[in-house]
Amino acid sequence: MILGIGTDFCYISRIKEIYDKHPAFAKKLLTFSEFEDFQNTKEKDVFLTKIWACKEAFAKASYLGISKMGFQNISVKKSSNGSLYYEISNELNFLICKNFNQNKINSFLSISHEKDFLIAFAVIEEG
């Protein structure tokens, strides 16, 4: 059963503008492993927008919001086949399971971008 659905739509130029004015934004948003990937990417604005939108979509699907969820409690990872998935800290997993009165949850993620637009879609379901 689906427990939560979240989506976030961003302008890549908006996130680029934030990062250009406040470079510390990247370290606030990204986990250590995401920051390593960020340093090695050519399209830094697209990378930051992707992570921002994915985390925002998950925050909406979890009904916790960013303030309770925290940017450092969730990472966006790439599988060997290129698909994206969430890696969630034990602390965040506990909060979400408690919020939905579940013992276990599964999460799913999809993104798409075209020109200056990026959208992320997150689903949380019973485990």
Cα distance between residue 19 and residue 31, in whole Å? 16
Backbone angles phi, psi at 13, to 5 degrees: -65, -30
Cα distance between residue 78 and residue 95, in whole Å? 24
Which among 44, 55, 60, 115 is annotated as catalytic? Answer: 60
Cα distance between residue 36 and residue 67, in whole Å? 24
113 is catalytic: yes
Which among 68, 78, 113, 115 is annotated as catalytic? Answer: 113
Give the catalytic positions in this structure: 60, 113
